[in-house]
Chains A and B, each alone.
Chain A
Amino acid sequence: MNTVSNTRLQVMWNRLLSVVEEQGQALIRAAFSPIVRECGDISAGIFDVKGRMIAQAVTGTPGHINTMAEAVMTLRKHFPIGSMRPGDIYLTNDPWIASGHLNDFLLLMPVFYQDSVIGFTSCTSHLVDLGGQGMGPEGSDVFDEGLRIPLCKLLDKGEINQLLLEIVKANSREPIANEGDIYALIACCESGAKRLVEMMDEFGIVDLDTLSNYIIDTSRRGTYDAISDVPKGVWTSTLRVDGYEKEIELKAKLTVDENSMVLDFAGTSDCSQKGINVPLNYATAYSVFALRCIIGPDIPNNAGSLEPFIVKAPKGCILNAQPPSPVAMRHTLGQMTPDLVYGCLHQALPGKVPAEGASCMYDLPMRSAPEVAQRGGTVFALEPAHNGGTGARPTKDGLSATAFPSGVWGSQVEITEASVPVIIRSRELRRDSGGAGTFRGGLGQRIELQSSNDQPFGVFLSVERIKHPAMGRDGGLPGAPGRVRLDGGTDLPGKGEVRVAPNQTLIFETPGGGGYGPPDKRGPDAIASDIAEDFVSFEVARDVYGWEEDK
């Protein structure tokens, strides 16, 4: 017969999960970067003395899921444990160690109990600006993209490395915000460490070994169980995407065996010359997120639950970009990887995964034209985020204008207009943009905007699915592709700078999600409702769904 101590371990596990959530919340509240506020682009985690992750906050974006676990291992191996002192904190923003681009700063703090290191706290946040060409795909290598900080010590026994801080500030367009964010990250590590020590006091433990073994073993076992429900075998898929200067083919091979799921991206196109390349850590985060949505989503992220998922790719392919490739906009393709992964998983588990969706978020970075500043006009920069439709689910329609796989919040028109001199003339769903199917894909949206102060402005696009729409599954039809153009002009490519003159209107249409199952199997009530809500036109209902008014 077991004793209560197992329950106490579980209580401590719950406590750790609550501590990382609290840290995550505090970090989001203190952050200066809109991407953190709107997307929760942060992470917080607790690690055992070996560097194994035992708890991680569930935050807005999946981009930190494996990246943080891997990064801490790297830092843990780099700095000898004997050299660590209470109050030390380590730092890096190396895209290939931290989280795929320079803006993500990762901190690691050793936690001491009775004079020994017993574990670590770590956190990551997206900083506003690291110099270089800033957020955008235009850099030709990582050096163009801003300041890279190698593995280093940020705090030495509680004393901040002032020179390092000054260098970060000197290399940024937003030095004060960066400083604020770095101090928020420090506070996050410190408060996590304090809470961890308090928990050890309360439960009377002097190290985390038993607890961390319990968490990791339980989670690994649960994940093995979940994987054992998946048929064994090998499945492949290909996803063709727009790319920047050339189209790109993403390829995946999923191998499922008793205790693991292995993804291999061999055959995927080479890197782009522009900053849409993806370091493998980031591609892994989104791919594993996609798998974990289906395989054991109730099991918290930690070294045990992540271990059975292995992602590989040949060096130099666009999902395993090597230094010094430019990577600033790694999320553009990173967010496409769930569709690639589901292409495989659908074959293994029919009826479980959604159709393809818009997937890549449609952010709209706007800046005043350069000559406006020279003339003394209003200078501005803002990056409102928007989304297309998600793919239809096996038993439900897709969600219209909703982020997936990212957790980005869409911007409010009133806030955008109050912040920058633009007028949004309309923002409505695009009728007929959801892929037809037994279950319909989510609709995209159409946004029209123009200058409000007779000054030109620029938009810096890095969006997908302009040429290649979201495909349906099992007979479902594709969603409408995205479309960007100037009123009366020709269609624009999905990447690059667009200049909007004072008298012009930019029309920005986000893609619809793919449908699921053949359209002629869609129930008449669902079609009638789609017509009544004006999600689907009568013509499409008739021609695609075979709808007859009196049926």
Chain B
Amino acid sequence: MQSLPGFRIAVDVGGTFTDTVLVDAKNQILASCKTPTTPENPTMGAMEGVRRVLSESGVAIPDIRNFVHGTTLATNALIERRGARTAVTTTDGFRDILEIAYERRYSQYDINLSKPDLIVPRRRCFTISERMLADGTVHVPLDTTDIAKLLAQIDECGAEAIAICFLHSYTNGTHERQLCQILQAERPNLALSLSCEISPEAREFERLCTAVANAYVQPIMAHYLIDLQSTLQTEGLICPIMMMTSGGGMTTLETAAQHPIRLVESGPAGGALLAARIAESLEQRSVLSFDMGGTTAKLCLIDDYKPQTSRKFEISRAERFIKGSGMPVRIPVIEMIEIGAGGGSIASVDRLGRIGVGPESAGSEPGPAAFAKGGTHPTVTDADVVTGFIEPGLFAEGRLQIDLDAARSALAQVGTSIGLDETAAAIGVSEIVDENMASAGRTHAVEAGKDITGRTMIAFGGNGPLHATRVARRARVSRIIVPLNPGVGSAVGFLFAPVAFEIVRSRYTRLDQLDVDEINSFFDQLTNEARSVVKLAASHGELSTTRIAFMRYHGQGHEIEIELPDRNLIKRDISELVSAFEVEYSRQFSRAVPGMSIEVLNWAVTVSTPPIPTDQASDVSSVQPIQVTATKSVICDVSGGAIEAAVFMRDTLNVGDQIAGPALIIEPQTTTLVSADFDAQVLADFSILLTKKSGAET
């Protein structure tokens, strides 16, 4: 194929591997590769990927028009505690914002739990005399005579980074900025993170945590990003490097170096963007993306081609899958639920004789028992081998030998204590893990005021297509799409991200008392700040602005996002906003509460470049049932009995091919299970559509 100039490249530096993808102006993939991440000097691993795709495609580096980079380095520095020695400065009288936190335990029955480690111990928490009030007026001016003492404390503890968080700085950040200027002058090497810039929202604990996390990774990330930039420029890169953020937008390298906390979870965000892209090309407006790998499964709700977003994320949880056990940070993120359910998840039996699966995982080393690399614990993959869904000779193109006997004896461990044979145990393990994923998805949807029933599932990851029908059945989902190359994830998604910046700021008001002039100038300020960040990366061309108010009934704790018109508000808009809120409230809670007053706590502005247009997949012109040439005996996931499943290699399928379940569609990275109650069809873009057979129970 003749490729057009205007090459674009995406590099996703993950914990273990770095994925690199090169596309042409028409978004055709010219080359992609997976190289080892080099944690000591991450630039090396990234450059290795770049050089490989360039040499493979014969493209020269100056011809790159767009360079997008995502990285888990910030996340890993937080998890592995490799950040800077960080200290905290808060308002006098409030040294213990971190220690006191929300005064709660994250697990009701666990009397021996440990609280999450919030990076900065009390000995490095300092205070200074100053005070703002809730309305932003100065109650006590910043006491500059206190500075000498603070400097001595900072010097003594050897801090390299400082998080500053004064009470009510989200309404007036003057004191934080004043202190910042003084510290910059006195100690130019300190990395400073101001809570009024990092996360200008009310609630001192979360705002401070966000500033701390940012301060902690800022030096290491700034160092890496500058190193990467100069290396690439030396190699001849002309275009700027754009950084992928957790919210699914891109920002400049300079902004990222200042706000590195916004880079956490950018990898999974890329996966969700890709799913959103696929949803749009297939015109699926209500989607559940399902990404199941070796250790975890991630689910994301995508409505109208937009992944669900949130403003809260937890890092380094004391217990990985327990909400509230981590350090909360308030940043725009693509909202996903992560479950400890992957191919390597280990099955066990508790004292009630109940099968449990995960979150412990055999990972890739030693891996499932069936991999014969020393693993003996029974895993989800072992169950899939025993039930016959994984074809031993064809797994990973035959490069990995599958040991059926090892899988059987691992499953026997599960079965023995509860009187099940290996096959029954395998069915049990699968049913439990599939139910766990479906339940987590349902609960996640409920928490967002949504429903997963009736959505289209987009399944990817090494185990997604294999478990898709089984999870879908339990989630009452009857359509599944398995895209082409379901193992290639995030990096491709990066290429579809807009340049965007979101700012959320607190400003309390009752909706019926809204001062429109004041809020208009407040929005102007927010918009200008966001625009100036976006302009750095998109100096010309139109920008779109989205304005959102987070509203709730007075007395409630849960806020609902209501989009505002992209213009100055006028008095008449208020009644429209009330009814917009009531409509959305009724949708989520089945009934509005007429007469209750409505309040707004937070306001958000997102400034973004327009989305990159998507080509609609063309319709399939003719369909034809496909001839079955090979079959395999499997244990039916519907009936529990042995049946013959048709076996196909995915690369031999043609557009329009129809396959009736039960069948297995095998490709190098994964297998798509077409359960007995599903049919499959190959769509025009070669993705596979799985549809629940009519008459089959939903």
Contact = CB atoms under 8 A, between A and B. Distances in A.
Same complex origin of A and B: yes
B611 interface: no
Given A1-B420, A404-B105, A417-B168, A445 B355 contact: no
A189 B455 CA distance: 25
Interface stretch (B115-123, B458-466, B479-487, B616-624): B115-123
A3 B104 CA distance: 43
Nearest to A219: B352
A27 to B, nearest CB: 10
Interface string B519-536: 000000000000000000
Nearest to A203: B697
Nearest to A388: B103
B103 A403 contact: yes
Nearest to A8: B431
Contact of A409 (B92, B95, B104, B640): B104
B694 interface: no
A533 B102 contact: no
A222 interface: yes
Contact of A225 (B351, B354, B436, B588): B351
Interface string A216-255: 0011011001000000000000000000000000000000
> By CB atoms of chain B within 10 A, which of A180, A293, A393, A410 has the most?
A180
Interface stretch (B263-271, B537-545, B555-563): B555-563
A401 interface: yes
B427 interface: yes
Contact of B133 (A183, A218, A292, A423): A423
Q: DSSP majority for the B interface?
A: loop
A11 B123 contact: no
Nearest to A199: B474
Contacts of B92: 426
Interface residues of A, number: 89
Contact of B432 (A11, A22, A297): A11
Interface in A155-194: 174, 176-177, 179-180, 183-184, 187
B585 to A, nearest CB: 9
A33 B95 CA distance: 30
B596 A176 contact: yes
B556 A37 contact: yes
Interface stretch (A13-21, A110-118, A370-378, A488-496): A13-21
B108 interface: yes
A183 B590 CA distance: 9
A4 B112 CA distance: 36
A399 B105 contact: yes
Contact of A399 (B109, B115, B204, B424): B115
Contacts of A525: none
A2 B420 contact: yes
A184 B585 CA distance: 12
Contacts of A60: 108
B15 interface: no
Given A128-B555, A176-B596, A532 B123 contact: yes
Nearest to B556: A32
B202 A18 contact: no
B292 to A, nearest CB: 18
Nearest to B589: A30
B345 to A, nearest CB: 15
A529 to B, nearest CB: 9
A452 interface: yes
Contacts of A426: 92-94
A25 interface: yes
B246 to A, nearest CB: 24
Contacts of A6: 418, 420
A229 B95 CA distance: 45
Contacts of B424: 1-4, 7
Given A187-B589, A298-B350, A448-B93, A408 B108 contact: no
A11 B435 contact: yes
A26 B170 CA distance: 30
A26 B590 CA distance: 11
Given A37-B556, A533-B121, A187 B591 contact: yes
B158 to A, nearest CB: 14
A292 B108 CA distance: 11
B596 A393 contact: no
A15 B591 CA distance: 26
B595 interface: yes
B555 to A, nearest CB: 4
Contacts of A28: 557-558
A62 B108 contact: yes
Interface residues of B, number: 72
A58 B324 CA distance: 14
B99 A400 contact: yes
Given A176-B596, A183-B591, A293-B111, A2 B352 contact: no
A535 interface: yes
Interface stretch (B253-261, B439-447, B625-633): B439-447
Interface in B583-612: 588-591, 593, 595-596
Nearest to A201: B697
B167 interface: yes
Contact of B447 (A4, A25, A179, A198): A25
Nearest to A10: B354
Contact of A4 (B420, B588, B593): B420
Contact of A417 (B133, B474, B555, B591): B133
A420 to B, nearest CB: 10
A31 B351 CA distance: 37
B428 interface: yes
Contacts of A198: 476
Nearest to A418: B134
A527 to B, nearest CB: 14
A535 B122 contact: yes
B96 interface: yes
Interface in A54-70: 58, 60, 62
Nearest to A174: B555
Given A4-B424, A402-B103, A407-B108, A415 B442 contact: no
A387 interface: yes
B494 interface: no
A210 interface: no
Contact of B109 (A22, A177, A292, A427): A292
A412 B205 contact: yes
Contact of A34 (B351, B553, B555): B555
Nearest to B122: A533
B241 to A, nearest CB: 37
B109 A393 contact: no
Contacts of B518: none
Contacts of B640: 4
Given A29-B449, A408-B103, A445 B96 contact: yes
B395 interface: no
Contacts of A15: 435, 439
A60 B133 CA distance: 32
Interface in B411-435: 418-421, 424, 427-428, 431-432, 435
Contacts of B697: 201-202
A479 interface: no
A241 to B, nearest CB: 21
A38 B104 CA distance: 10
Contacts of B170: 414
A179 B593 CA distance: 8
13 contacts: A2-B419, A11-B432, A22-B446, A32-B596, A62-B108, A202-B474, A292-B109, A298-B350, A393-B112, A396-B114, A414-B203, A428-B93, A533-B123
Interface of B: 92-96, 99-105, 108-112, 114-115, 121-123, 133-134, 139, 167-168, 170, 202-205, 350-355, 418-421, 424, 427-428, 431-432, 435-436, 439, 442-443, 446-447, 449, 474, 476, 508, 553, 555-558, 588-591, 593, 595-596, 640, 697
Given A399-B115, A412-B203, A415-B203, 7 more contacts: A4-B427, A60-B108, A293-B109, A412-B202, A414-B204, A417-B134, A423-B133
4 tightest Cβ-Cβ pairs between the two chains A and B? A426-B93, A410-B103, A37-B557, A7-B428
